[in-house]
Structure 1
Amino acid sequence: MKYQGVLTKMQTENGSPIQYYLVFENDFLNMNQLLDKKISIRFLGYQCLNCELQKKIYRQGFCYDCFFEAPQAAAWIINPELSQAHLGIEDRDLDYEKSVQLRPHVVYLANSSSVKVGVTRKTQVPTRWIDQGAHEAIEIVEVPNRYLAGITEIALKDYVSDKTNWRNMLKNDITDEDLVAWREKLKKYIPAEALDYYLENNSETNLLFPVLRYPEKPKSLNLEKTPLYEGVLKGIKGQYLIFEDDTVFNVRSNEGYIVSLVIN
């Protein structure tokens, strides 16, 4: 079977285990069904996710021009504390910024390689945790806009990491943590503006990934350096495909790449 299209991050459905779907314009693949099958990935070119022109991808699935112009790639996406829509101040497109920033957001703790703090829209729970490869997570606060979530994350970053070690996450080199205890310990560092939104009665969410074998020494597949790769799929965690030879492929990091997939 052969499939072809522009890569976008895999869609997910929480379950035991999580279900993963790769969506092309004309195809819809349940990736869980491909476990233990040989897959060939061939790099064919680029297509910007914004302008849809076949231009080299710069970052986050966007060509150079769109990365610096599209509202979906503005700095507040990565740094939510820079959000200003709640003040009526435009960055690139105020209507778009209001539609995203002025919605309920959560600050959370997730354990993927170690405990980290993060921000996401409420509607993206638990999708955000799945994408990060977290096996457990819990919300700390639920606030009405992205700015409040951003300043809370900044305050907590002095006491807990905001990064994931992707190699440890993929090797499943992890330790279970008491996230309720972590939440309670961090409460005193929440900014006054967000303290009324603290969540004190929720429990942690546990996630199960479809992995038959974890890699011992994960090595990342770079399609530009290796335009044709073939391997047996052994697992999916975060947005990574894990292959039998310890090669791992980050689908999200390759958004905007045109590929063909052959399933044997």
Structure 2
Amino acid sequence: MKITGMIRGLAHQYQEPLQYFIKINDNRQEINSWLDAKVKIEYEGHIQCIYCGRVIKKTFNHGSCFPCFQKLPENDLCIVKPDLCHYDKGTCRDSEFGDSHCMQPHFVYLAVSSDLKVGLTRECNHLKRWGDQGAVQAIPIAKLPTRKLAGELEMRLAERFPDKTNWRKMLKGDTPEIDLLQFRKEAYSMVQEEYGDYFLHEESLTSLRYPIRQEMEKVTTFNLDKQPVIEDVLIGIKGQYLMFSSGVLNVKKYAGYHVTITLLDTM
């Protein structure tokens, strides 16, 4: 099997384990069945902006050309720092995008990926968000009416709980036993007065399992700019990473790159 085109990242469906797809051009190719097979990935030497199609030499923010990085709402600073949302100031890069993405209910959640972390996501997007982060457990702890309010709560909780994932530790599967329900109680006690009306109490834990044949003892990253051909056995998929026997590839990092992927054989 051989597919050629522009990478757009990994997608998944929630099941046990997660079902993964690689997005090439406008198509999705199922890849759980590639486990234990030798896979060859060849970077063809050219890149396009995933938004406007412009041919570029480098990408910004996972697939953008520089003009799209500067002007599109998907690339605004408030996407990574939601508490800085400026929709209500009338300076949103695209008010329709703001209406559909930012002025919508958001969950603030606790999750275990590499360690305990706090994060936020749109209510309709939580399973995708947790899978993209490689979380093994997660629970929504509050529901807020806008992204900005959720970002402000996240910032308050980040004074106590980490808001970053150690991706190397996440890929090794070296996650500690963490009682999310107990930490939820601690989070509530921190912000009861300000955010008590938004707390969620009935939600249960969600567990996520990934298609992984073996955990990695050492994590080495592949760089398509320096190593344009990867040929190795696929041993797992987690978050946005393809895990090979000798290294990992962050697929989302190379969104916009044109590649040829060949399934060579099964073990």
Instruction: Report if the CA contact (8 A) 1:18-1:207 is conserved.
Output: yes
SS in 1 for 2:8: coil
In structure 2, the residue matched to 1:184 is 185
Overall identity of the aligned pairs, in %: 38
Q: Note the C-alpha offset of 1:199.
A: 0.7
SS in 2 for 1:167: helix
Root-mean-square deviation (Å): 1.3
In structure 2, the residue matched to 1:20 is 20
Q: Note the C-alpha offset of 1:31.
A: 0.8
TM-score normalized by the length of structure 2: 0.94
Residues 95-130 of structure 1: CA deviation (Å, up to 9, x unaligned): 221221111100011101100001110111111001
Instruction: Report if the CA contact (8 A) 1:112-1:136 is conserved.
Output: yes
In structure 1, the residue matched to 2:82 is 80
Greater Cα shift, 133-142 or 27-36: 27-36
In structure 2, the residue matched to 1:253 is 253
**Structure 1 residue ranges without an equivalent (≥5):** none
Distance 1:145 1:156 in 2: 17
Q: Which residue identity lines up with residue 100 of structure 1 in the other structure?
A: H
Residue 147 in structure 1 maps to residue 148 in structure 2: yes
Residues 209-230 of structure 1: CA deviation (Å, up to 9, x unaligned): 0000111111111100101111
Distance 2:108 2:199 in 1: 10
Distance 1:82 1:27 in 2: 34
Distance 1:192 1:9 in 2: 41
Q: Note the C-alpha offset of 1:192.
A: 4.7
TM-score normalized by the length of structure 1: 0.95
**Structure 2 residue ranges without an equivalent (≥5):** none
Residue 73 of structure 2, aligned match among 64, 71, 74:
71
Q: Which residue identity lines up with residue 73 of structure 1 in the other structure?
A: N
Distance 1:153 1:28 in 2: 33
Instruction: Report if the CA contact (8 A) 2:171-2:238 is conserved.
Output: yes
Q: How many residues align?
A: 262
Distance 1:225 1:75 in 2: 29
Greater Cα shift, 190-199 or 211-220: 190-199
In structure 2, the residue matched to 1:40 is 40
In structure 1, the residue matched to 2:160 is 159
In structure 2, the residue matched to 1:60 is 62
Residues 131-178 of structure 1: CA deviation (Å, up to 9, x unaligned): 000100011101111011000000000100001011110000111211
SS in 1 for 2:165: coil
Q: Which residue identity lines up with residue 30 of structure 1 in the other structure?
A: E
- CA 1:232–1:156: 2 relative to 1, 3 Å: same
Distance 2:81 2:239 in 1: 21
In structure 1, the residue matched to 2:126 is 125
- CA 1:27–1:91: 2 relative to 1, 3 Å: closer
- CA 1:192–1:94: 2 relative to 1, 3 Å: farther
Q: Which residue identity lines up with residue 63 of structure 2 in the other structure?
A: G
Greater Cα shift, 93-102 or 228-237: 93-102
Q: Note the C-alpha offset of 1:7.
A: 1.2
Instruction: Report if the CA contact (8 A) 1:39-1:230 is conserved.
Output: yes
> Post-superposition, which runs of at least 4 consecutive aligned residues in structure 1 deviate over 6 A?
none
Distance 1:23 1:164 in 2: 24
Q: Which residue identity lines up with residue 49 of structure 1 in the other structure?
A: I
In structure 2, the residue matched to 1:92 is 93
In structure 1, the residue matched to 2:6 is 6
Distance 2:177 2:135 in 1: 11
Distance 2:41 2:124 in 1: 32
Q: Note the C-alpha offset of 1:190.
A: 2.7
Instruction: Report if the CA contact (8 A) 1:90-1:97 is conserved.
Output: no
